[in-house]
Chains A and B, each alone.
Chain A
Amino acid sequence: MRALTPGIAPSRLEESAYRAVFADAHPPMSPHEALVAADRCYFCHDAPCVAACPTAIDIPLFIRQIQAGLPEAAAKTIFDQNIFGGMCARVCPTETLCEGACVREAAEGAPVQIGLLQRYATDALMDRGTHPYRRAPDTGKRVAVVGAGPAGLACAHRLAVKGHAVTVYDARPKPGGLNEYGIAAYKTPEDFAAREVAWILGVGGVEIVAERRLGRDMTLDELRQDHDAVFLGVGLQGVNALGAKGEVLPGVRDAVDFIAELRQADDLAGLPIGRRIVVIGGGMTAIDVATQTRLLGAEDVTIVYRRGRERMGASRHEQEQAAAKGVRFKHNARPIRVVGDGAAHGVEFEYVEETADGLKGLGETFLLEADQVFKAIGQCFEPGPAPSLRLNLGKIAVDAEGRTSIPGVWAGGDCAAGGEDLTVTAVAQGRDAAESIHKTLMEA
């Protein structure tokens, strides 16, 4: 049986099973389902769901537009605030954002299905294949955007709408950032990330320059000289170190790299997967790598997190989804060393408890067998490319409009301080920086 192949091996599933593995996590609503779901919205005054949305989409209005039979109009309401409304409908942790704030969640534990309704609306408009925004007349201003992730492209799109000429540089071969390289495959099937980027670029006026890395292929000063403004949406390139012995043994790798490889794999069967897997971390990345390796045929997948369940960065919903797929959780344990002889065979953990002075080892240890170990303990901003930027808690310091310490340079997304590291937050920051850039350029 393929699943029992020891070590890290490709083709753990039957060939025919791969297609179904990464089918849509939450299939789209049918028109009737959408009408019924939309009808549950109370059209609240000063609605809590809007306040809970980092991009402040007018949710009651767009749901009312679905009710009234015009999902395309609903989509326009969404895109006015969030041009990545399609992706956010798929990946937002709605249970902690809009749906968590829905009064029907408070009333009956069953919120209006805002995420799925947003997907229904945005799909309806995007499936038309046309772009809903028309560019303003050319302003003659040129803006450089570094990083073609959600922050950078949200910024670029808004700037393009305003009539500016935008060049987006990205280190990777494809635009999209974490939407393309990071988010779990089952959340964005059928190449949605790439299709969405192509649709966003349909506004015109945005040039994508691939495989150009800031600090390697160009400097911030060069960009400033050649453009009227610069937006940095470079994300987080650094990966936190485990600090455990044996970390360099074969079989141990960064979860983000693996997910990127998975997302770009043409043939999932060719992707080597361990039989027994340990994932170290407690965030969305840990959940994503654990769930996906389990779906790809790993026999045992265990997420080990050093603190309690309530402290995990991954939402409760995400945890439950992973558990439903057979992922096991262990809490309050930290890795001491990766055990192995030429390759990882297991990880030794020590139980810890959280005290006022931080985590305290309890002396009791246990060993989890593992031929594949993923580190998902967070990423960090690497200031290398732009050493002169002022930082705040290790990320680029920005003001409320996204301005950095360097005149003419804005930043947003995961690389900027403030806000959660979510797609929707990145979109909001990119969009708001674009408004600030526009205001600044037009005043000049």
Chain B
Amino acid sequence: MADLRTDFVGITSPNPFWLASAPPTDKAYNVVRAFKAGWGGVVWKTLGLDPHCVNVNGPRYGVVYGADRRVLGLNNIELITDRPLDVNLREIKQVKRDWPDRAMVVSLMVPCDEESWRTILPLVEETGADGIELNFGCPHGMSERGMGSAVGQVPEYIEMVTRWCKQHSRMPVIVKLTPNITDIRYPARAAKAGGADAVSLINTVTSITSVNLDTFSPEPSIDGKGTHGGYCGPAVKPIALNMVAQIARDPETAGLPISGIGGVTTWRDAAEFIALGAGTVQVCTAAMTYGFRVVQEMTAGLSLWMDEQGHPDLAAIRGRAVPNVTDWQRLNLNYVTKARIDQDLCIKCGRCYAACEDTSHQAINMSPDRVFEVIDAECVACNLCVDVCPVENCITMERLPAGAVDPRTGLTVSDEHADWTTHPNNPSRCAAE
């Protein structure tokens, strides 16, 4: 059995699956249910200073559906906890006492002044919580008050607040980053400079999920008006993976522990985040869509996959994909592939043909009896046919061996690496070594 136990900046949990700071972790009742279901840890829903926040009394969530009302993306305009601080602290303390083996991290968001932080930190520390997560990410509501992503968008503020927290608390500090910036490396570097033990990302993406065409109100609609919310769920996973990878491979932040967040729905999503350097993953939308029991698929799936691949523990896979994330200019231009269509698997829908003929390189021939074949002399190996084919593995990309002639370019394929840095068309190329 693969060992899923996790030690993340000194915070241990039986598995790397934590519930993210969000509605599912707002109360002891929910968190206890989560622990019973098997979650390795939680980040308690963000606490603030009293008087506590209020929420809208109309809908808080908007959704983007796939087929059969499958939730692909969820957006929310819910604020941080709307319960009194002492109620939350009391419950955190009790739950941590009852579930000592689970990770209990507390998310915090208070105004950007040292006194506010100095006030709340000892209160949290007193609960016995394992660590804190600084919510510099929520893009809605609180950001209008100078908190959440309003802090996360200014690296200097991140560094300043992180430093306060390290000064005034013994707890590990995880800084939660907003994706609503142009370059995620700057806030991550700032967190590290401020002494952060780890970063977690991504928080939600600023978004409007839809417009009601009867009322012309954005959704979710509150009395005919809407405001942008934070978008999450499977739809944002690619954005999150990229940002995690950017931090993992940035020389200035390499090695900084990362808690990966964004659309984790199955074990596979989690494994991908871990391969890009995440020490734990945080989940929200999958739990909010299907309930807490989804963690059982995640732990079982990750464990089975690791066993089959011979990975004894999470350290064996953590960061394994990071060295393979590179810049475009380093990609091997001598890697030449062509699409290949398996005629036995082809169901003759013609989607590859329509896609290639209309929007790509006219590299698929369609015969009168609906046989689809790749024209190697036109195929640039863009992969669009593979992507739109409804049959898995029907179309594949096959590499031309060294020595073969690419009929499109007339050039002989070389097994040497050659990339843009040395390409003759590159005005700033380096001399070949």
Q: Are A46 and B347 also in contact (CB < 8 A) when A39-B67, A39-B68, A107-B391 are? A: no
- List A contacts of B347 (CB < 8 A): 103-104, 106-107
Which residue of A has the minimal Cβ distance to B355? A45
Report if A418 contacts B (CB, 8 A): no
Residues of A within 8 A of B (CB): 32, 35-36, 39, 42-48, 103-104, 106-107
- List A contacts of B69 (CB < 8 A): 32
Report if B118 contacts A (CB, 8 A): no
Would you give the 0/1 interface string for B356-385, flagging 1 where the beta carbon is closer than 8 Å to chain A? 000000000010001000000000000000
Give the contacts of B312-370 with A (CB-CB under 8 A).
Answer: 347-351, 353-354, 366, 370
B390 touches A42 (CB 8 A): yes
B67 touches A36 (CB 8 A): yes
CA A104 to CA B351, docked complex, whole Å: 13
B68 touches A46 (CB 8 A): no
Q: Are A45 and B354 also in contact (CB < 8 A) when A103-B348, A106-B347, A107-B347 are? A: yes
- List A contacts of B370 (CB < 8 A): 46, 48
- List A contacts of B366 (CB < 8 A): 45-46
- List A contacts of B353 (CB < 8 A): 45
A45 touches B67 (CB 8 A): no
Residue from A45, A104, A107 whose CB has the most chain B CB atoms within 10 Å: A45
CA A107 to CA B391, docked complex, whole Å: 9
Select one of A36, A39, A48 contacting B348, CB under 8 A.
A48
- The interface residues of chain A, by DSSP majority, are classed as helix
CA A36 to CA B67, docked complex, whole Å: 7
CA A412 to CA B166, docked complex, whole Å: 88
7 of the cross-chain contacts (CB-CB < 8 Å) are A32-B69, A39-B68, A43-B351, A45-B350, A46-B350, A48-B348, A104-B347
**13 further contact pairs, Cβ within 8 A, besides A36-B67, A46-B366:** A35-B67, A35-B68, A36-B68, A39-B68, A44-B348, A44-B350, A45-B353, A46-B370, A48-B370, A103-B347, A103-B349, A104-B347, A107-B391
- List B contacts of A47 (CB < 8 A): 350
- List A contacts of B348 (CB < 8 A): 44, 48, 103, 106
- List A contacts of B67 (CB < 8 A): 35-36, 39
Which residue of A has the minimal Cβ distance to B67? A39
Shortest beta-carbon contacts, A-B, top 5? A45-B350, A45-B354, A39-B67, A107-B347, A44-B349
- List A contacts of B68 (CB < 8 A): 35-36, 39
Would you give the 0/1 interface string for B56-89, flagging 1 where the beta carbon is closer than 8 Å to chain A? 0000000000011100000000000000000000
CA A39 to CA B68, docked complex, whole Å: 8
Which residue of B has the minimal Cβ distance to A43? B351
Smallest Cβ distance from B100 to chain A, in angstroms? 46
Smallest Cβ distance from B348 to chain A, in angstroms? 6
- List B contacts of A42 (CB < 8 A): 349, 351, 390
- List B contacts of A43 (CB < 8 A): 351
CA A46 to CA B372, docked complex, whole Å: 13
Smallest Cβ distance from A372 to chain B, in angstroms? 47
CA A44 to CA B370, docked complex, whole Å: 11
- List B contacts of A35 (CB < 8 A): 67-68
- List A contacts of B351 (CB < 8 A): 42-45
CA A42 to CA B349, docked complex, whole Å: 7
CA A44 to CA B348, docked complex, whole Å: 8
CA A103 to CA B347, docked complex, whole Å: 6
- List B contacts of A103 (CB < 8 A): 347-349
CA A404 to CA B353, docked complex, whole Å: 41
CA A101 to CA B260, docked complex, whole Å: 46
CA A44 to CA B351, docked complex, whole Å: 6
CA A103 to CA B348, docked complex, whole Å: 7
Smallest Cβ distance from B352 to chain A, in angstroms? 9
Which residue of B has the minimal Cβ distance to A101? B348
